[in-house]
Every structure is written in C-alpha cells, then in structure tokens.
C-alpha cells in the first residue's frame, strides 16, 4: 500500500485532500492522471452495464433530496453505526471496524473477539468507552435559517433517486419488466474510521443498477447479474480472479428485506474486505416510498393486467474501490535490461488494461532538436484526436520509458533521426518492451488495432 500511495502522489494520480492545510481525514483528490484513470473506469463500466444493454435506462438524479425520501428508505432511522471513543487519546472508531481490524488480517481466520469490551484503542492501547449509536448521513441546511425544518442530507447512495423516479421513467419510456435504471454519482457518508487510502472516504462515487423484475423471476435474474459481474472483472478489469472472494451473506446477517446478498470481496494488502455487492431487495424500497409518499408506484403487466410492485435486484459498485483494485492489480516490479550490456535494473510498471490506462500513447522525440519536433509535434496533435497522448522530450530515452512504465502507458512512440529519412517511428510495447518500426502513415491504424 505504501508503494501505491507514494506512486499515486508522485505521479499525480491521487493527492491527499486539502494537503496545504494539513489534509482532512479520509479525503483525497484525484490528480491529472487519477482523473483520467477513474474516468476510463467509469466509461468502461457505463459501456458494459448500460450502453451495450437494451434493458437499461440512464438517470442523473439530485444529490440533495426531500428528507422524506430518507425517512422512507430507513436511512434516517437505521443508517447508524456503533461508535467507541478511547478514554485516553479520545480517538473515535466504529465498533464494527475495530472488530474487523482485529480479525481480518491477511490470511485471516474469522475468529472474532466476542465483544468490543475485550478490545483496547489501536493507537494508544487506552480503554474504550461503551459503544454509542451515530448516524452516518451528512447533514446540511437549506435556506438562510438553520433549524429542524431546513435540515437536508447529502445522499449516502444513488439508489434513492432511482426509486423515486421509477414511475416517471416508466411513464416516459413505456418499458416492460424486466428493465433497469443506472446511474453513477457522488455519495457522502460521515466515515470516522481510518480509510486505508481511497478504500473508505467521506465522499465517493457509486455506480448502481436498480433492476426491476417480476418476483417470480428473481433467482434466474440474480444469477444473470452474478455472471455479468464475473465477466466485468475478468474481461474488462482483467483482475486475477483468485483475488476476488464471492461471499454469500448467510441468513440472519443480511438486511431484513433482502432474500439474497453476495458481497464481492478483494484481498487488499490490509485484509480481505468488501469491494462491492449485489442484493435482492424484494419490493422493500418501492413499497416504503409508496407508503410514505402516498403515490401509487405499481406496475401493470400489459399482458395479464396484473398490478403489482416490482421487485429489485441491485448490483452496486464503488468506483473508488474499483480504482484502488485497478491500481493494486496493475502494480508490478520487474528486472529489465539497462542500456549497458548484460545489466538489469528494477522497473516499476503499471500494467493497466490498455483501454483503462490514463495515457494511451507517449510521443518521445529522441532529442529536443527542432528538426525532430517538426515531425513529433504534429504527430502528437494528430494522435490526440483518438488517444490520450503525452509528449515528453526531457532526459534520456531510457528514463522516459521508465516514467511512462510507471504510469502504465501501453505504447511509446519514438521519433529519431532515421524518421527524417524513412518517415517511420519506433513503437515500444509497455509489457513486452519489444520495439517495432512503423510507417507514420500507418501509425493511427496500427494503434487503433492495438486498443
């Protein structure tokens, strides 16, 4: 983790939030390359789960909703965690996270201490207070006065916006079951436990699908989504599938309304923890919104005339956790040959899936000489029409290759003095380090083929 965090800062992927003011707990900013990487993950997710499917419709709902929506969803009453405080250093912790920290070390056994009272403060070993309830919803006030009538909340998940718009979407799209609503958006939770980099933050992005079904179909639809999720991790994110754990949540541990939940967990360097999940939420959400709003949210089957509240299967993904997994999977240290015969050095290379890499192509003129720039600059400008391109002319070519390896650029295009004669460039592959001579006129098609 330390290597990843330091690489992310050094290369502009992720910076500590508000760093010049000493930072803010569990807050991080995505730098230039981090923005690109996260954007690429979101685009790939959207394409895979929404754009390429005939049964999904998109939505972009408000972050601040009528507070009654959170009353209906149960968040105001139940989105609580138990908080304990150290009597000596006054650091605060979530009781469930302290229990987890003490049991879920890498290669853990799931043997847990029986109660929180058996634990001490992980920072100073002081005694802990009795656990107290606290609500994780982030509160604000709307308008000029701050009282109970103006309280509003920043959404802790995107799901609510999709449920309250169910009838609107049904009316405008005339969809038949099964169909889904999808959105990606910022969410906010008052997290107090140390976050393990971008694993747990106060604001983060969720990509969520609410898939509306006739309840008789739930088992086969759940299996369909599980296999789509597997395909996503295997084909698009290209993770080592041995690093994922498919945790079937047993009876008694699921939310009261869920008939089946699978947590997809990952072997992080700090332990096995949740990456994302899929839950069969029955008609819990629509029935609660129907009861609290007084609006009829039922669906009428056009063939049978049957009127009922659809049930929901909800695959949910944390975009920031996906980015963390992408970084962890990509990180490699390898021995690579240097310019000196027979000598090697360690190279750090981020082997991102090519379509997710923040920079796809680097254009590297061998020297800063004007004659090379007159070819390299227009070449980079042309490539920018289709690829994310970096242009780098400083330091030795070997150092520039290492810099591009460290941010996972799949292809480096070198313009050298021979280019002036043969109108060709050298293309170097990030993973094999093999180099090929390609005619400039054919370079665009060659690279398109590679992606």
Give me the 50-89 binding string for ligand GAP, x by CB under 6 A, dash otherwise. ----------------------------------------
34 binds ligand GAP (CB under 6 A): no
Residue 247, helix vs strand vs coil: strand
Cα–Cα distance, 165 to 286 (Å, whole number): 10
Query: What is the footprint of ligand GAP within residues 209-238 (CB under 6 A)?
Result: none
Nearer to ligand GAP, 210 or 405 (CB): 210
- The set of residues, in sequence order, having a beta carbon less than 8 Å from that of 252 and lying 6+ positions away, is none
> Whole-number minimum distance, CB 320 to ligand GAP, in Å?
5
Distance (Å, whole) CA 4 – CA 323? 12
Cβ neighbourhood burial of 226 (10 Å; 0-12, 13-18, 19+): middle
Pick the piece of the chain touching ligand GAP (CB under 6 A) from 67-75, 269-277, 296-304, 349-357: 269-277
**Phi, psi of 413, rounded to the nearest 5 degrees:** -110, 115
> Of the two residues 161 and 365, which places its CB atom closer to ligand GAP in the complex?
161
- The residues, ordered by sequence, that sit 6+ positions from 370 with a Cβ below 8 Å of its Cβ are none
Binding residues for ligand GAP restricted to 295-354, rule: CB under 6 A:
314, 316, 318, 320-321
CA 155, chain centre distance (Å): 17
Cβ at position 207, least distance to ligand GAP in Å: 9
Instruction: For residues 206 and 37, give the distance between their C-alpha atoms in angstroms, rounded to a whole number.
Output: 16
Taking the complex as a whole, the smallest distance from the CB of residue 102 to ligand GAP amounts, in Å, to 20
The residue length of the chain stands at 451
- Torsion, Cα 175 224 265 160, to 10 degrees, reads 10
Closest residue to ligand GAP, judged by C-beta, is 318
273 binds ligand GAP (CB under 6 A): no
Please list, in sequence order, all residues whose beta carbon lies within 8 angstroms of the beta carbon of residue 358, skipping any fewer than 6 positions away.
13, 32, 33, 34, 36, 37, 40, 352, 388, 407, 408
Of 250 and 294, CB closest to ligand GAP: 250
Nearer to ligand GAP, 267 or 414 (CB): 267
Tell me the closest approach of the beta carbon of residue 307 to ligand GAP, in angstroms: 26
| 185 belongs to the binding site for ligand GAP (CB under 6 A) | no
Tell me if 14 sits within 8 A of 27, measured CB to CB.
no
Binding status of residue 278 toward ligand GAP by CB under 6 A: no
Q: Comparing C-alpha atoms, which of 39, 16, 18 is closest to residue 28? A: 16
Q: Shortest distance, CB of residue 195 to ligand GAP, whole angstroms? A: 7
Binds ligand GAP (CB under 6 A): choice among 167, 200, 289, 428: 200
Q: How far is the CB of 318 from ligand GAP (least distance, A)?
A: 2
Quote the tokens at residue 364.
Answer: 């590297």
> Does 276 contact ligand GAP by CB under 6 A?
yes
Question: Which range in 197-205, 250-258, 418-426, 443-451 contacts ligand GAP by CB under 6 A?
Answer: 197-205
> Contact positions toward ligand GAP, by CB under 6 A?
157, 159, 189, 191, 200-201, 204, 206, 208, 274, 276-277, 314, 316, 318, 320-321
């Amino acid at each position: 983790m330390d290597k990843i965090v330091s690489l992310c800062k050094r290369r502009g992927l992720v910076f500590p939030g508000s760093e010049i003011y000493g930072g803010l707990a569990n807050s991080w900013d995505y730098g230039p390359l981090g923005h690109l990487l996260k954007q690429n993950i979101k685009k790939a997710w959207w394409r895979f789960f929404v754009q390429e499917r005939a049964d999904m419709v998109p939505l972009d709902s408000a972050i601040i909703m009528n507070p009654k929506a959170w009353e209906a969803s149960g968040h105001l009453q139940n989105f609580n965690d138990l908080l304990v405080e150290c009597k000596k250093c006054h650091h605060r912790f979530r009781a469930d996270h302290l229990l987890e920290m003490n049991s879920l070390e890498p290669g853990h056994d799931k043997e847990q201490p029986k109660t929180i009272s058996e634990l001490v403060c992980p920072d100073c070993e002081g005694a802990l207070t009795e656990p107290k309830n606290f609500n994780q919803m982030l509160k604000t006030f709307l308008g000029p006065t701050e009282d109970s009538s103006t309280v509003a909340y920043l959404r802790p998940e995107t799901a609510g916006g999709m449920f309250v718009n169910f009838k609107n979407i049904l009316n405008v799209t005339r969809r038949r079951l099964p169909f889904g609503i999808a959105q990606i958006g910022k969410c906010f939770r008052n997290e107090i436990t140390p976050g393990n980099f971008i694993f747990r933050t106060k604001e983060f992005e969720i990509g969520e699908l609410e898939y509306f079904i006739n309840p008789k179909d739930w088992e086969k639809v759940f299996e369909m989504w599980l296999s789509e999720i597997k395909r996503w991790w295997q084909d698009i994110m290209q993770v080592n599938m041995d690093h994922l754990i498919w945790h079937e949540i047993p009876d008694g541990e699921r939310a009261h309304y869920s008939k089946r939940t699978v947590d997809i967990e990952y072997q992080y360097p700090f332990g096995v923890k949740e990456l994302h999940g899929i839950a069969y939420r029955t008609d819990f959400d629509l029935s609660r919104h129907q009861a609290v709003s007084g609006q009829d949210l039922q669906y009428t089957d056009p063939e049978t005339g049957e009127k009922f509240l659809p049930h929901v299967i909800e695959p949910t993904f944390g975009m920031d956790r996906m980015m963390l997994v992408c970084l962890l999977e990509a990180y490699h240290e390898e021995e690579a040959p240097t310019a000196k015969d027979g000598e090697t050095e360690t190279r750090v290379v981020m082997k991102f899936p090519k379509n997710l890499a923040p920079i796809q192509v680097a254009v590297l003129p061998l020297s800063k000489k004007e004659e090379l720039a007159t070819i390299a600059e227009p070449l980079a400008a042309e490539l920018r029409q289709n690829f994310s391109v970096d242009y780098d002319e400083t330091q030795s070519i070997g150092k520039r290759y290492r810099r591009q390896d460290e941010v996972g650029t799949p292809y480096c295009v070198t313009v050298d003095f021979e280019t002036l004669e043969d109108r060709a460039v050298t293309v170097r592959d990030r993973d094999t380090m093999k180099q090929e001579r390609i005619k400039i006129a054919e370079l665009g098609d060659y690279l398109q083929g590679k992606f």
